[in-house]
Each structure stands twice: as structure tokens, then as C-alpha cells.
Chains A and B, each alone.
Chain A
Amino acid sequence: MSKPANGILLKLLLLNLFFLAACSTYGPMFGKHRQSRVFEDFVLLKTMPGDTFSSLASTYLKDPNKGWMIADFNGIKTLSPGQELIIPLSPLDRGGLKADGYQTIPILVYYNFSDSRSDKMSVSKDDFETQMNYLNLNGYHVISLDQLLNFIDYKEQLPEKSIVITFDDAWGSIYDIAVPILIKHGFTATFFIYTDFIGGGKAISWDQIKQLSQQGFDIQCQTKTHRNLAVLKKNESFKEYFNSVETEIMYPKKLIEKTLDKDCKYLAYPYGETNNLVIAMLKKHGYRAAFTIGRKPASFFVDKFRINRSVIYGSYDIEQFKKELSAFQKSELK
């Protein structure tokens, strides 16, 4: 090869390298580099092999649990390499408001469980498995109370079919029967306990509660003795009632926080009953929300200290269970 030819070849090689270097950030569609653009309100990108909703949410929304936001917005359920996506960087629909209605969040409450037979307050193991399976197969997102309250506080958006699972009273059967099924489905849940019951004959123990808390389940308060907070006892003076309510509210909160080293900020009213005085006291002592019993599911504009929960009775078949899962309330909002 002549010297001039070598020089031309060298220049061509350098030129090529220059172009390759210049173009490397654009890269091939399925190459090593992300093709994305981040704007103030949204991200535009093409997916790469290995991308998941969770990984994208982790990168762009700083929360791997918000992958559903990407799926919901783009109207997809799965990802494939090269897929074009828009990722909104802030919630576009905090209240779940649509032209034809608004989002509602069913909150289920279970009491007791049995291995085989069910009665009114006890759900059988098979029925519970069927119900959790239904939620899993039908796209329900089981969310925590913190997520629910962020939605109610108009801070966060929730998946379209969000649902909360709670348990009252802390029967031992919850730990033995319900918890393994929840874990199997990857569902979170909240346990409202009344502390005088813990460690009793058929109740869950403190060791089991600590274990549940360490597993990520939420332990919250259902008073100390399970007294009806809204009713004076026979021959009880108002002052005695007042002092009793304060104890019912304060004692278990301190005990749970001390034992589990986690916040106790939600309360389930025994028998679902409350009144203004109880609510004023809960607010004074830093509770964030409290739960009654009722069929109407929660919206973001619900009274935070009178949030309904639907009781799932042992007598329910799957059709009756499905009626408790209303995630949208029709109402013309235009």
C-alpha cells in the first residue's frame, strides 16, 4: 500500500471512529444504551431487554412499586424490548377522577378463620384462598394503609383496582390460616389488635405479632379492651367514660410502638362505632385515620376518621365477595 493510500485509509478510519463515537449515544435499538429523553413532566423511552415496569419505575419514578403507573398510563400489561413508552413523572390522577365517576377503594375486614367449616364470623381456609386467588387473577392491587392514606390526602395516585385487606381482633387463626395464603399471593395486610387480648387462649401471641411486623405486615390498634367507644357503660359517669376512652386510645398505641418500634397511627373502632369526642381525641393524639364498618368503599374525599370497611362474612360465596370489590363509583363529573 502506498503512503498516500495509507494516509487516506487512516483518515477514513479516524473519520469512521469519529462518527461511531458521535452516534454511540443513540445506539442501536436493542443495544446497550437506553434510548430515552427526560423532560420536566414526562419521560419518553424505548424499552431494552431486561426492562420491567418495576425497574423503569425505580429509575424514573424512584419507586419500584409504581410500575403499575407506567402500565396503566400506557394501557399495557406486559413489556417487550423496543416498546415505546411515555412515563408521566408526577401523578396525573390523584383523586382517581374521571368524566363518568371517581375511584373507590374497597377495604375488606376479616375476623376469624377455620380450617374447614365456616360460620358467620369465620371464613374457611378454602373460601379465603378462593377470594385471594380471585383478587390476584383479576388485576387487583392490594395496597397498604399508608398508600391508601396518601391517596386520601390527595398526594398519590393509586392503581385502578386497588384494595385494602385488614383483620380485626387478632385471633390465632389469622396467623395460622390467613397469613400463609397472603404470603403466597404476595399481598400485604393490616392487623388491628386489641392489646388485652394478645397472648390469650385463642389469640395471636406477641412473638407472632413481632414476626408479622418483621415480614412487612402492618400492625395497628383496635383499643385496649375492645370496649365500645361510643357508648357509656351502665352507671358510668361522663368523666369515667372520658378517662376510659383516653386509655383505650393511648395505651395500645404506646404499647405497639414500644414493642414493634413502628408507628401506630390507625385505629379500628370496636363494633365500628365512634363519635365526635373519640375522633377529637384521636386527632389530638396524632392518629392519622380511623376505620368504621360499612359497605360504602373509600374515596379520596372520605372523612379520614370514619372510613368504611366491608366485613367479609363466612357465609359469603365468591359472587357475594365480588360485590364488595367496587373500585369505581359512577357519577357524571362534567
Chain B
Amino acid sequence: MKKLINIFSLFIVLSFFQGFADPVFSFEDSGDKFAKNFSEKPPEAGSIFQPSFCLNKSKAFERMDELQLALFYMKIANTLSPDDPEVSEKIINLKSKINIKSGDAFQKGKIFYQQNKFEEARIQFLTALRYKPDHTDALDYLKNKLIPKPYMLYSPKKDDSLKSISEKFYRDPGFEFLITYFNDLKPNAEPVPGQSLKLPILDPELSPAAVDIPKKITAAKGLLEKKRYQEVIGITDKILKNDHSNKVAIELRNEAFYQTGMELSRQEKNFEALTMFNKVTPGYKSVDKVIQKAIHKEFLKAELLLKENKYEESIHLAERILSHDPSNMATQNLITTAYCQQGRSLLIRKKYDEALKILGDLDPANDCANKIRSAAQKAINVQAESHYLNGVKYFLNEDLQNAIKEWEKTLELNPSHEKAKINIKNAKSLLEKLKKVN
């Protein structure tokens, strides 16, 4: 029996030690108990669960400048040996070192970024992030600021419209649909000051701004030498659509229009020449003089027509001149003179009504016109009086029908002839009475 008791006692002791033979881990363990168990029976030498192993591992990573791994192993060491002051202190030191190194790298990165040295900046932000993986600012630079955006943000100003923004940004108001599309706006929406609009950045080959200006300038110069003015105008139009103030393009365009105008002028196509000259910047070369010269040539033609009593042709030509040079007084006077002469001609031919009609639009203060108008009106009144007297004669001869006809002609020429009105009324009354008597 004693033997049996001894065997059991031994078994209990063995069981006791077996229970702690490897007492390191269980889900229920707290850190303290875990450490206590460890101290009672430490893991084998070289075990990764020994605090010293993790400590050494941490130091090795620190020497390699892999501070996050050093910190990770140090935290494990701290878990295994929570009362070790060296470990706790080392954790604080590592965290401090991490903050300093990541902070330094980030600041360097920002300086490079401000200097537009993006590759150098990227390396520094990566370094900051390697030291401190949760460095959100470094991450923001790497993932956002250093990656080109396919659009820019625009804050509308007061009085901006989608068309004006499109014109400003794309040099084409017709591209407003891009703004509505990428900002989920209705087609006729009005931009609101303060809102942020996404404006996709068009690559050069798509953008209306995508003109290789130096190349186009060279081409335009070559074409100008060859007097291929229309092509020069076409190219410079494209350049100026993209660069409104391109001085070379403006010069080339002026020259092309000027030379085209001169050529047309030589061909006596003065109005076509004027159209060209008017597209040239005022003051360019002698454009103002050649414009006046072309106008004068046409004025002389109008004057000649007037002398030939071709009033309507003269007036038509003069009006064309005024469409190019509205303040041309000589031409304005020529038109007035032409109308007057035409009116006088009509007066002479006793076409009083037509004369009055022609002169109707002329300035009431115009003497020539007034005289003709007055003479025409006087002649009309004389005619009216003549018809009145003819009517009286018919009345006295008891020819009431013809008397009425003459007085009606009087009223046609002079609607305010009161005697004619009364006589017509009386004559018609008599005619009625005669009908009843007969």
C-alpha cells in the first residue's frame, strides 16, 4: 500500500511539473501570469519567446535602421517581460527616434516639393512613411499631390457663365458641355460663386489650345513670302484663337489682309479691298490712307454717275461707301444732292407725287429739298384748283355728273379742299331730287 501511495505521490509530483513543463501559453493567460510562468520555467535558449531573443532581434533591426520592426520586437519583449525597465525605456526611445527621423524626412520632402524636385521629394516622403507607416501627410503627398490630376478645380467668379468659363479655360465656349458632364450640372446651369468645378485638363492633341505655335508661325511666314495670303490668314486665325495676343501672328495676319486689300484695290475692287483693309489693325502701315483712297475712288464714281443724271445708281454707290465709312460727309452730301436733283427732275416732268416721295426722307431743314417739296406742293394745289374750276363750269352747264368727277379729282390732289367737298354733297343731293321728279 505504501508503495502504491508513493507511486501516486510521485505521479502527482510529475503531473504537477508536467503541467508547468511548458506553461507558457493559453488563451486565458494574462500577461503577468504569462511572465510569471516564464520565469518559473524559461523557454529553451534561442526560443523566440525569450525576452532576450526579442530584445536582441529588436537591437539588430535597429542597427539596420528598420525601426518599425525593432519596435515590434521590443513590444513583444515587453509583453514577455513587462517589468523590465530597459525594455520600457527602449520602446520610448524607439518611438522618439521614429518620430524624429520621419519628421526630418518629411520636412526635406516638402522643401524638394516646393522646389519642383519631385523625384527627390518622393524619396523623402517614402522615407518618412517607412519610418512611420501611418504618416498621413507623407502618404497624402505620395498618393495625391505627386500624382497629376486629370482635372483642375475652378471656383467660379461673379458673372461667370459656363460658356465664359469654357472660353477662359478651353478657349472655346462650345466646350461648356465638358463642365456640365463632369460636374453633373444641367445644360443651362449657372455656376455658383464658391462652388468647386472640376474642369478636365485636355491634352495638347485634343485641346483647341493645341497649336504648335512656333511651327505655325514659321509656316505662315513662308506662305506670306509666297503671297498665299488666304492660307496665312487661316493659320494665324488658329494661332490667335489659342493665343489672342501673339504679336507675330497679329503682324502676319495684318500683312496678309493688307496685301490682299492692295491687290483687290489694284483690280479696282475697292469695296472688297475695303473689307480686307478693315480687318487690319488701325494704324498698321498706311492702311488708313489706302482705305480713304479706295473710298475716294468709289466716291468719284458716284459723283460721275450723278453728273450723268444716273441718280439711283449714284445713290446706291454712295450708300455702299457709307457702309464702310459712315461718317463720310462728302458722300452724305452727294446723296442729298442726288435726291434733290432727282426730285427737281421729277418736278420738271410734273411727277409731283414722286418728287415728294423721293424727298420725303431728306432732312426737313434741307433748303434744296424744301424748295422742291414746296414747288411740287404748289403745283399740285394749282392742279387741284384747275379741276375745281372745271367742275364749276360743268355745274353751271347743268352737267352734274362731270362736275362731281372734277371736284373728286380736286380732293384727290388736295383732300382738304372744303369747297369741293360741299359742292360734291350739293350736286349729289340735286341729282337725287331730279331722279324723284323724273
Q: Which residues of A contact B (CB under 8 A)?
A: 1-2, 5, 8-9, 12-13, 15-16, 19-20, 22-29, 34-39, 41-42, 44-46, 84-86, 88, 92-95, 97-99, 102, 154, 230-232, 238-239, 241-242, 275-277, 279-281, 283-284, 301, 303, 305, 331-334
Contact = CB atoms under 8 A, between A and B. Distances in A.
B203 A19 contact: no
Contacts of A99: 64-66, 130
A201 B40 CA distance: 76
Contacts of A45: 25
Contact of B27 (A16, A24, A29, A38): A38
Given A37-B25, A37-B27, A84-B49, A301 B126 contact: yes
Contact of B72 (A35, A41, A231, A279): A41
A35 B22 contact: yes
Given A99-B64, A99-B66, 14 more contacts: A12-B9, A19-B16, A20-B15, A35-B24, A37-B34, A97-B130, A275-B206, A276-B150, A276-B151, A277-B203, A280-B150, A301-B122, A334-B127, A334-B130
Contact of A88 (B20, B28, B72, B146): B72
B374 interface: no
B396 interface: no
B48 A86 contact: yes
Contact of A46 (B25, B130, B133, B148): B25
Interface stretch (B194-202, B269-277, B423-431): B194-202
A286 to B, nearest CB: 14
B8 A16 contact: yes
A12 B26 contact: no
Contact of A301 (B16, B28, B143): B143
A277 B202 contact: yes
A334 B65 contact: yes
A279 B66 CA distance: 37
Interface string B245-260: 0000000000000000
B139 interface: yes
Contacts of A98: 66, 130
B5 A95 contact: no
Contacts of A154: 139, 143
B182 interface: yes
A215 B18 CA distance: 50
Contacts of B127: 333-334
26 contacts: A15-B12, A19-B15, A23-B23, A24-B19, A26-B21, A34-B25, A35-B22, A35-B26, A36-B25, A41-B72, A42-B75, A44-B48, A84-B49, A93-B68, A95-B129, A97-B133, A99-B66, A275-B202, A275-B206, A276-B203, A280-B150, A301-B147, A303-B147, A303-B148, A333-B123, A333-B127
Interface string B136-177: 000100110011101100000000000000000000000101
Given A16-B8, A44-B76, A276-B200, A331 B123 contact: yes
B374 to A, nearest CB: 65
Interface of B: 1, 4-5, 8-9, 11-12, 15-16, 18-29, 34, 43, 47-49, 64-66, 68-69, 72, 75-76, 79, 101, 122-123, 126-127, 129-130, 133, 139, 142-143, 146-148, 150-151, 175, 177-178, 181-182, 198, 200-203, 205-206
B21 to A, nearest CB: 8
B202 A276 contact: yes
B99 to A, nearest CB: 15
A86 B146 contact: no
A241 B178 CA distance: 12
Given A284-B182, A301-B142, A9 B79 contact: no
Contacts of B76: 42, 44, 86
A331 B126 contact: yes
Given A86-B48, A95-B133, A331-B126, A19 B12 contact: yes
Given A26-B20, A45-B25, A333-B126, A239 B177 contact: yes
Given A97-B130, A279-B150, A23 B19 contact: yes
A92 B72 contact: yes
Given A28-B22, A36-B25, A276-B201, A84 B47 contact: yes
B40 to A, nearest CB: 12
Contact of A241 (B129, B150, B206): B206
A332 B65 CA distance: 11
A275 B204 CA distance: 10
Contacts of B29: 37
Contacts of A9: 4-5, 8
Identify which of A1, A5, A42, A44 gathers the most chain B CB atoms within 10 Å of its CB: A44
Nearest to B8: A12
Contacts of A29: 22
Contact of A277 (B11, B150, B177): B150
Nearest to A16: B12
A41 B22 CA distance: 23
A12 B12 contact: yes
Identify which of A34, A231, A241, A301 gathers the most chain B CB atoms within 10 Å of its CB: A301
Nearest to A153: B143
A88 B139 CA distance: 22
Contact of A26 (B23, B64, B142): B23
Contacts of A19: 12, 15-16, 19
Given A37-B25, A92-B72, A99-B64, A23 B150 contact: no
A-B CB proximity, top 9 nearest: A23-B19, A97-B130, A276-B150, A35-B25, A279-B150, A275-B203, A280-B150, A280-B200, A25-B26
Contacts of A41: 72, 75
A108 to B, nearest CB: 24
Contacts of B206: 232, 238, 241, 275, 277
